[in-house]
Amino acid sequence: MKCRRCSELAQVRLPSHHTGFCASCFETYFLRQVERGIHEHKQFSKEDRLLLAVSGGKDSLGLLLALSKLEYDVTALHIDLGIPVSSQSARSTVEAYCAAHSIKLHVLETTEKGLPIPEVKKRVNRPICSVCGKIKRHWFNRFAYENGYNVLATGHNLDDEVARLFANTLRWDQAYLAGQGPVSPAEGRFVRKVKPLCRLTEYETAVWCFLNGIEHVLAACPYSAGASFTGHKKLLADLEERSPGMKMQFYEHFLQRGKPAFQAIRAEAPPLNECARCGYPSSMEVCGVCRIKEQLEA
Ligand code: SF4
Ligand code: ZN
């Protein structure tokens, strides 16, 4: 197969686009897809103060590089969860990467906030990944809000988005379906959330990282067996193989045709309260994160 842009030998085959690229044209393709996702969904501009949640995995590090190459003013935020081995490994990977590329980095430790994840796991009788996810989302948003960043970006790619959409659809979860997409607008103490990799697959992001020599975290989280959507992703990969381009179509048609209907339903829901402890939005009197903290302090 020949590269679509320059006719040299293609090194990266992309069946969903019925095409392939050489390494250098793949770089151009990848950056254009990031830009297209940002512009098409009005995610942010060069005037915005952008904070990127960086876990140390390939998606967030790959996105950090892409945004720097596209000359966005991006600052990284890493959350150290206090999990033996994997948190140290993730943190040192992110610190080394940001130092090597002169990218501004903040590190927030959940232990300092009274929420070391191993302790949370011992005390909370729920799947740890959903609790850990809740704590991370709370602190990413809170850090952005309190430090003057108006946009918070994450490295979720098309596969993550489609798997989540599929899970939400299986449950017909109206609230989640109303909120899902590459942009969640700012509201009260919620800053705008964006997903600049929404047009790129896990495979494309992995190729981008490989071609750019990005070394991502290798020590897996010891609790990762509970990570969600693995089964859904396999199912969707099978569908994509039979019908290339299906994932993108499912996602884009949802955004155009499905989401507005769920947003109309959501508009009738009562507004969120302010958490009586931390002041951040909550559907109950005290938010989920403050309740976990209370449990640990008891
Ligand atoms: Fe947290 Fe689960 Fe991810 Fe581990 S695998 S970092 S517990 S969300
Ligand atoms: Zn709270």
Domains of the chain: 40-217+227-297 (3.40.50.620)
Pocket test for ligand 1, best of 129, 138, 289 (most atoms within 8 A of CB): 129
Nearest-angstrom CA–CA distance, 46 and 296:
41
Q: Which residues of the chain have pLDDT under 70?
A: 217-218, 226-228
Backbone torsions φ then ψ of 75, nearest 5 degrees = -115, 140
- Cβ 266 vs Cβ 174: under 8 Å: yes
Three-state SS at 51: strand
Backbone torsions φ then ψ of 70, nearest 5 degrees = -85, 5
* Number of separate helices (H) and strands (E) present in the chain: 12, 10
Taking the model in full, what pTM does it have?
A: 0.94
For the CA atoms of 130, 253, 43, 104, the dihedral, rounded to the nearest 10 degrees, stands at 50
Per-residue pLDDT at 265: 86
CA of 82 to the centre of ligand 2 (A): 21
- Cβ 226 vs Cβ 127: under 8 Å: yes
CA of 291 to the centre of ligand 2 (A): 7
In tens, the pLDDT along 120-177 reads 999 999 999 999 999 999 999 999 999 999 999 999 999 999 999 999 999 999 999 9
CA-based radius of gyration for the chain: 20
Name the closest ligand to CA 224.
Answer: 1
In tens, the pLDDT along 85-95 reads 999 999 999 99
* Residues 6 or more apart in contact with residue 220 via CB below 8 angstroms: 86
CA of 65 to the centre of ligand 2 (A): 33
